[in-house]
Structures are given as structure tokens and as C-alpha cells.
Structure 1
């Protein structure tokens, strides 16, 4: 089955099951179901950030900005059935890796078809991060007193500049899954920034329901994608993305 036939199947599975999937996860944040289609059999551990992105380094970590604690990419997983994980999303990633290796973005651009697939991939990361934050408790905030009651709440309830209400968190989750069932990403193209990079290391940061930056040193490519913001031109998106990246890494040797 071709990649595009698999993606048709993926979108259909999501459309048919998304209400049940989200309702189940809302009732039980740790429900052992496929987070995409709701399957309960043949479950696998889907890495939120694919292992090939960070060269399978088990020591690589990211910081949860909400509580300042580090977590390894290698252990950051969510449940997904074998079909959604290995067959469909695995095929998408293999296709994109081939394109990343084939195209030198310093000299040429990706095709429209590939750009839409990149957006789909980045949107899948956003959905997985939202699931992850719902499944993880806040626990202890770094360098702060532990409050047992707050420690039992999901990290997702503390995203953003102010605490996020459960209703908003669940609404964002429904939206994040719904967009994975949308075939055309043409209207989102200006919100995707494709950048050439000479950095030797993998870099990543993410703001829930806002944006993601991911730098693939192996391919000399970096992506910055605004999940919600629309831009009149790609140039204006790139300008804003560059400001955010500079602010994120200000004073860092990156």
C-alpha cells in the first residue's frame, strides 16, 4: 500500500473514532488505547519525538517548561496501535527522511506535496505532546516546594502564561486530533518555516498549541511551525520565527 493510501486510511480512522478516543482519554488520562484510532489491541509505544530525530541518544533530554524538570526523549512515549505507529506514521517518517536527505534546502525547496506532509508530521507531534502532558502529573516544580494537591494534576493544566482550564485543555486536544484528519494543508503553508542550518546538534523546543521548532542537524534542516497563527507571507512567519529562536537561545552557545 502506498503512503498516500495509508494516509487516506489514517484520516478515515481518525474521523470515525476521534469522538470516542478523546472522550475515553478525558475520562481516563492513562487509558491504554491507541491515541489516534482508539484500538486497544496490538498497542506499541509511540515516541513523541521519533528516535531518528535525536540519533537514538538515550541521554538526550528536554525540559518541561511548566515545572523545569528534564525528561529523556527515549522514554517519552504514548500508546498507539501497530498500524498507526509502525505502518502509517512509520511510512510517513521514512518518506520524509528520504526527502530530507535528497533535498538541499540551501539550494532548492521542497515540493508542495512534501511541505504538506511535513506539516502533517509536525501536527502529529503537537497532538502527541498534548496527550503526554495530559498523562503526566506536574509532580515537583524544580527548586520549589512540593504541593501534593497540585502535584496530582496533569501538566497540561499549567500550560501557557496562565493556568489552563480543563475545558480548554480538552478542547485543544480535540482540535489537535481533528486537524490530523484534514487532507489539505495548503492554507497552512505560510505558517511553516523551512530553514537551512549548519548546527551540529539536534535542537528542539515546543510551546503547546502555539509553535514548534525542531532542528535536524543530520540533514542541515530546521523547521519552525506555528500551529495557530496565520501569515500573509512566509517571509513574515520566518521573521517572527527567527525572533523567537534568538530569544530562546539568547546567551546560549548554539
Structure 2
């Protein structure tokens, strides 16, 4: 079966079930349902960041944007049914991994189809982080005292320059899932920056509902994607992305 036929199945599942999925997650942030289709059957652990991205290193950690607490990538998972996890999302990841192995970005360009698939993949990461941020309590900010009332609130409520209202968080969640059901990513191509890298290690940082940077050292490529911001010219996106990369890229967020 081709990747496009798999994506037809994925989009159909999302369109049919998206209201049920988001309604259940909003009502119970810890609900044990598939985050894609809402099934409660054959649930598996879907890694927020795929294990192959960081070479399955169980000790690799990242810090949450809000409270700066470290956690391992390996244990950062969400529930997904076997079909959505392995057959659909897994198929997309395997297809892209093959493309990353096949293309040397220092000499070749990805096809338009592959670029759109990369965007879809990065958008799946954004959706998973939004669900994850609803499931994780703030607990405490590193270096600050624990406040019981605030500590019980989801990290998602504290994203961005100002505290985010629950209504806005839930709207963002619905939007992030809806985006995955959109077939064409043509109008988003200028928001994706492809960066050739010679670094030897994996790096990652992410700002919810804003942008993501993920460096795949094994394949000599990094991606920076603006989730919301649109650009008329690729050069403008690239310039904006590099400013953010230079600010964040210190290894402290990986």
C-alpha cells in the first residue's frame, strides 16, 4: 500500500472521530483513549518523539518549556491504538526515515511530496505535545516554591508569554488535530526550513503552537517549522528561523 493510501485512512479516522477525541480529552486529560481515533481497544504507547530520532537512547532528556523540568524522551508517551500507532503514524515515520536515508540534503532537494509529508509529521508532533501538556501537571517551576493550587493545573495553561485560558488551550487542541486531516500542505511549504547539518548529535526544541526545531544528526538534516506563521518568501522564513535557532541552540534543551 502506498503512503498516500495510508494517509487517506489517517485523515478519514481523524475526521470521523475528532470531536469525540477532543471532547473526551478535554473532559478527562488523563483519559486512556487513542489520541487519534478515540478507540479504547488495543492501546499501545505512542512516543511523542519517535525513538529512532534519538537512536533509542533511554537516557536522553528534554526540558519542558514552562517549568524547565527534565524528562526522558523514552518515557514520554501517549496512548494510541495499535492501528493508528503502527499502521498509520508508524508507516508515515518509516516512509520519511527511508527518504532521509536516501537524500543527501547537501546535494539534493526533497520532492514536494516529501516536504508535505515532513510538514504533516511535524504537525503530528505538535498535536502530541498539546495532548501531553494537558496530561502533565505544572507541579513546580524549577527554583520556585510549590503552590498546591497552581501545581495541579496542566502545563498547557501556562504556555506562551501570558497564562493561557482553558478555552484557548482547548481551541488550540482541536485545531491541532484538525490540521492533521488537511490533505494539501502546499500553502505551508514556505514555513518549513530545511537545514543541512554536520553536527554529530540530536538536538530538539519546541514552542507549543509556535514552532519546532528537530535535528536528525544521523541523516545530516534539521527541520525548523513555523506552525502558525506564514511567509510569502522562503528566505524570510529561513532568516527568522535562524535567529531563533541561534538563540536556543546551546544543547540545554536536549
TM-score band, normalised by shorter chain:
over 0.9
**Post-superposition offset of 1:250:** 5.8
Matched, 1:125 2:125: yes
Q: Is the 8 A contact 2:33 2:79 kept in 1?
A: yes
Deviations 1:50-76 (A, max 9, x none): 000000001100001211100100000
Paired residue for 1:87? 87
**Post-superposition offset of 1:243:** 0.4
In structure 2, relative to structure 1, the CA distance for the partners of 1:251 and 1:58 (3 Å cut) is: closer
Q: 1: CA distance between counterparts of 2:202 and 2:192?
A: 19
Deviations 1:136-159 (A, max 9, x none): 000121111000111100000000
User: Residue 90 of structure 2: SS of its match in structure 1?
Assistant: helix
Paired residue for 2:100? 100
Paired residue for 2:147? 147
Paired residue for 1:58? 58
Which blocks of at least 5 consecutive residues in structure 2 are unaligned? none
**Post-superposition offset of 1:249:** 2.6
Q: Aligned ranges for residues 39-50 of structure 1 at < 5 Å?
A: 39-50=39-50
Q: Is the 8 A contact 2:100 2:219 kept in 1?
A: yes
Matched, 1:9 2:20: no
Q: 1: CA distance between counterparts of 2:83 and 2:128?
A: 16
**Post-superposition offset of 1:2:** 2.4
User: Residue 86 of structure 1: SS of its match in structure 2?
Assistant: helix
Deviations 1:170-220 (A, max 9, x none): 000000000000000000000000110001000000000000000000000
Q: TM-score, normalised by structure 2?
A: 0.98
Q: 1: CA distance between counterparts of 2:87 and 2:202?
A: 26
Q: 2: CA distance between counterparts of 1:249 and 1:214?
A: 11
